[in-house]
Chain A
């Protein structure tokens, strides 16, 4: 708040014609509010629900037997408790790795087939995982985040995620914390959430997946991390990797308590 006020004064001094930072933020908030209705994410949700119920793969079976942590086929509220440890896989999984697991175990896909086109592009290269994620997450809308931290592997994932959050690397010596570890940071007109505070973490995490206007696609949290790594000039973050799951665990757990609010819509 203070940083914004200072910037507004500075801007006013340097460029009298410039909009003060505060009112710009208000106008952008209006833009975001106007977009909430008729969110194209609903199109992915509908396709995802159809995929969930469709008999597919070599075993010609639906995904309705998939256990997302609350029991086989229970979708409502499942995303609010992910990532979590799964005994049958003996590892911590986020939603997307769990979906791949179910596609392999229940439907008979190979892992590479299940992971084909993880990030969709246009009408010809649609991503089943993005659609399924949109559907499953929509069934947690309004449910308070309740990521567990009881199993030893869950705690380890959280610790690794935290370390990764502060790990400086790449050509620019960036860490996640470089952009997301302080109040009042901004890239051009984009306010960067401070993920170190509960409020910042909650607002950020509970609004993914989101229909990303600039992509024209529904993008998931795996994509968000992948794209952050790309922008930091880090090596590519592999889909469903230990690193991706650990970072997701750290950020999702920090969002605990807040009602999940996705799929959302972002610029």
Chain B
């Protein structure tokens, strides 16, 4: 079970700024362990962010996104108290959804 994401959603003018820190190994599949075996790739492939049911960002990621990924972006609208929901799915089929309230 992965650790919860740390999400900050705040109003900046008439936009909502979303910053999220995710807990994920983002293993490239390039590394080898002490026995010389390749450590399999394990990484977030899809990220979806919604606000009031509307998708505000959809991302496809590869192994080159850094471990414990950080993402920041802005969308127009949003009001204090609204929920922003972030979901990720990784190449093992693991999923995680967390939400935050716009402050």
A contact set with B: CB distance below 8 Å:
37-40, 42-43, 46-47, 122-123, 211, 216
Contact = CB atoms under 8 A, between A and B. Distances in A.
A264 to B, nearest CB: 15
Contacts, number: 32
B72 A38 contact: yes
Interface string B20-33: 11010100000000
Contact of B68 (A37, A43, A46, A47): A43
Contacts of B72: 37-38
Given A43-B68, A216-B67, A123 B6 contact: no
A216 B6 contact: no
Interface residues of B, number: 13
Given A38-B72, A43-B3, A216-B68, A122 B21 contact: no
A43 B21 contact: yes
A38 B21 CA distance: 6
Given A38-B70, A40-B21, A40-B68, 8 more contacts: A38-B20, A40-B23, A40-B67, A40-B70, A42-B6, A43-B3, A43-B6, A216-B68
Identify the 7 closest CB pairs spanning chains A and B, nearest first. Answer: A38-B70, A40-B68, A216-B67, A43-B23, A38-B21, A42-B6, A123-B25
A50 to B, nearest CB: 9
B4 interface: yes
A40 B22 CA distance: 8
A39 B21 CA distance: 8
Interface in B7-42: 19-21, 23, 25
A195 to B, nearest CB: 29
Interface in B62-97: 67-68, 70, 72
Contacts of B67: 40, 216
A40 B23 CA distance: 8
Given A38-B19, A40-B21, A122-B25, A46 B70 contact: no
23 contacts: A37-B70, A37-B72, A38-B21, A38-B70, A40-B21, A40-B23, A40-B67, A40-B68, A40-B70, A42-B6, A43-B3, A43-B21, A43-B23, A43-B68, A46-B3, A46-B4, A46-B6, A47-B3, A122-B25, A123-B2, A123-B25, A216-B67, A216-B68
Nearest to B72: A38
A42 B5 CA distance: 10
A122 B26 CA distance: 10
Nearest to B21: A38
Contacts of A39: 21
Contacts of B20: 38
A37 B20 CA distance: 10
A46 B7 CA distance: 12
Contacts of A43: 3, 6, 21, 23, 68
Given A122-B25, A123-B25, A37 B19 contact: yes
